[in-house]
Amino acid sequence: MNSAGETMKFGVGQPLRRFEDQRLLTGKGRFQDDVALPRQAYAVFVRSLHAHAKIRAIDTASAAKAPSVLAVYTGADYANDGLAMPKAAMPRKKANGSPAFAPPRPALVLDRVRYVGDSVAMVIAESLEQAKDAAELVEVDYEPLPAVTSVAEAAEPNAPRLWDDNPDNISHSYERGDRRATEAAFARAARIVKRCYVVTRVQAQYMEPRGSLGVYDAAEDRYTLYADVNYPHRVRNMLANMVFRVPESQVRVIVRDVGGGFGAKGWQYVDHRLVLWAAKKLGRPVKWRCERSETLLADEHGRDNVGTIELAFDAAGKILGLRLHMLANIGAYVGSDRQWLTPFGQIGTVVGVYDIPAAYVRIDAVLSNTSPTAPYRGAGRPEATYLIERAIDAAASELGIDRIELRRRNIIKPEALPFKSPLGPVYDCGAFEQNMDMALAAADWAGFPARRETAKARGKLRGIGLANPIEQAAGPVPEYAEIRFQPSGSALLLMGTKTHGQGHETAFKQILHEKLAIDPNEVVFIDGDTDRVAFGMGSNGSRSMVAGGGALTLAADKVIDKGRRLAAHLMETAVADVEFAGGKFVVAGTDRAVALKEVARASFQPARLPPGMEPGLIEHATYAPERATYPNGCHICEVEIDPETGEIQLVNYAVVDDVGTVINPLTLHGQIHGGVAQGIGQILMEQVAYEAASCQLLTASFMDYAMPRADTMCGIAIKSNPVPTKANPLGAKGAGEAGTVGALPAVMLAIIDAIAPIGVTDLDMPATSARIWQAIRGAGRAA
């Protein structure tokens, strides 16, 4: 890095290939299952075969006598040791004002299972195979009870009740907006458009299934958990304060490479506490590895809600108000506030990028005999955008107004910013209509009618859909960064965020280089270890670059400030005369300079320090954004459908994204590609399905749970239209979930547009070939 051009090639805005890929692609990654410790034992869980049943008895005698079995634990053992169960703390109430009903998730069920996959017993043996064999010997005497898995059915007053001490299956109700103003808006409306949309239950399906390895050091009275979680420090705090009731210094959490997370790996799984508890009881490490066939039984799921949305219009097609009643399936338990984050925390953006003066939302959190739900990529944002964008297309059809024109009449104009939504969020900046215009040009929207006619001549149905997503991201939650120089002048970069595939090492090194011009090859990146990183809130909600990048920026400023004072002393000049640029401290107006690396070396030599200066160049910062950010954009999808088979083919996809300051265009495009793929998967094929009568899980493996492949996708054209925010030092808005937020509505609206000419006006996800074929045949019979 001798020339200025070479110096800047690693800075912010450069399309730099990821530093971590060399290690990951050559088999040198250190993933959860790579962790192996001496004398480790292996755990297997016995899971409920019933969706709802009383446990009359659990017979573990035969399993305990099986070869090499070290222990068989049940809920009685856990309760006898006095360990606690974490609970939700977020204040919520029922519709009548009484406290929310939030049943905590037991580590091992003692009396009554409430979904297929509920953990009943834990078998530990010398080998995984021996533990599996012994687990089959555990006999559980069940008394089956009525069950319900459908969110709509569970919300009915006469539905089978999960909990005897709750009068119904409603955990609580959540309201947002001004109900009175919204009712007034609807009262004066010229037209009201009402629709009901289903957002199906899905599961993250990461490359490496979850796992945990617990260690207890009796000499130090200290627990160490190796796990693949998004929030290492929050896991530590939960285990110390809510389960074991010990000081946080007695718990260490280590997270290395994570084979995908998407929010679902979270921070609140029962296996985390169980492997630590068992390790202490047995005096040796205990490892649990979730097998692929177990993930849909063991993990939290995502989405699963039904929303009835209404839009009130005046005679000119201007939206006067929005009403939404949503039923949100939260599963059988509320193990933490995670179960209340989706979609409740993000429903504020259901008004989209539209100037809607009045809105009211009510969400009923519904308990059911299913796995608990929790954040999954987008965490409520895709659901909100899906509802408003589908409703606008439906309204355009009913009102006889072109769908783009209807959006133009209602889109928030630049002069209206900052815009306070009637549901609370304040959009500080953006160019919403410009995003749409750029996307329309990129997708050649004007040329679509000709392409539709060409497809028709080939016997195909062609459709195009547009969505203007916006999401709330990176709220005012603190994050930590530390820059620790070594006596040689190289540095450690320690971050409180946690990468699980996003490319944090590269992006944070780019920010560091932009600020300090440090050679990235001389920086060691560290995250995911609560003993090495002082503090952190982890990675979720597209917050890492906003909050983590902000903390890193402040820490770098502290390095510059101390370095300037030391450089002034070394060059025997006034501090005010020293400037920093390009990795050097320079005396203004002269050629006298000293490199940051040399200053760092000098900081460890007491004889070279000015009086009163502490040795070393080690700076940290904790930063909390002033307010949330609002990434936004426009997605356009174009599809072709074979009416004879219902087979669907994506033919074009265009994205215009505003994620604020772009740190690395290359990794940004990768994030958008991945997010779009997950949105496409949910619309076309993905669904966690339960059989209605038995409430058994039907999609427990890849034989039944379909996911998109390379041949499902089409090329994705991506353009950036960044409008940096002033809400954080970098001007970043967040990018991790943007692709999924826009993909759900864009793909579904393209499908609806393709089949609308033959009479199909509505369709719920997943839009499989079979369901499309059935819809087409149904429309033909009706005609």
pLDDT in tens, 167-176: 999 999 999 9
d(CA 87, CA 337): 8
Answer for the pair 533, 494: CB distance below 8 angstroms, yes or no: yes
Which pair of structure tokens corresponds to residue 375?
């954040």
pLDDT in tens, 39-53: 999 999 999 999 999
**Residue 465, beta-bridge partner list:** 637
Answer for the pair 511, 590: CB distance below 8 angstroms, yes or no: no
Torsion of CA 401, 467, 305, 92, to 10 degrees: -100
Mean pLDDT for 505-513 is 97
State the pLDDT at residue 783: 64
State the pLDDT at residue 4: 39
Whether a cis peptide bond, with omega within 30° of 0, leads into 418 is: yes
Q: Do strands 41-47 and 119-125 pair parallel, antiparallel, or not at all (unpaired)? A: antiparallel
Out of 89-93, 289-293, 752-756, 763-767, least confident range:
89-93
CA distances from 386 to 297, 350, 392, 656, 764 (A): 27, 8, 10, 17, 11
Q: In terms of C-beta density within 10 A (0-12 exposed, 13-18 middle, 19 or more buried), how is residue 693 classed? A: exposed
**pTM of the full structure:** 0.95
φ/ψ of 508, rounded to 5, equals -70, -35
d(CA 347, CA 365): 13
d(CA 743, CA 714): 13
Q: In terms of C-beta density within 10 A (0-12 exposed, 13-18 middle, 19 or more buried), how is residue 453 classed? A: exposed
Q: Tell which phi-psi region holds residue 616, choosing left (phi > 0), alpha (psi between -120 and 50) or beta.
A: left
CA angle, 531 then 532 then 538, to 5° = 85
Beta strands in 663-724 (DSSP E): 716-720
Q: Do strands 139-144 and 112-113 pair parallel, antiparallel, or not at all (unpaired)? A: unpaired
pLDDT in tens, 306-350: 999 999 999 999 999 999 999 999 999 998 888 888 778 889 999
Q: Is 50 exceeded by the pLDDT of residue 5? A: no
Q: Is 50 exceeded by the pLDDT of residue 1? A: no
Confidence label for 60 from pLDDT (cuts 50, 70 and 90)? very high
Residue 638 contacts by C-beta under 8 Å, 6 or more apart in sequence? 443, 448, 451, 462, 463, 464, 465, 650, 651, 652, 653, 750
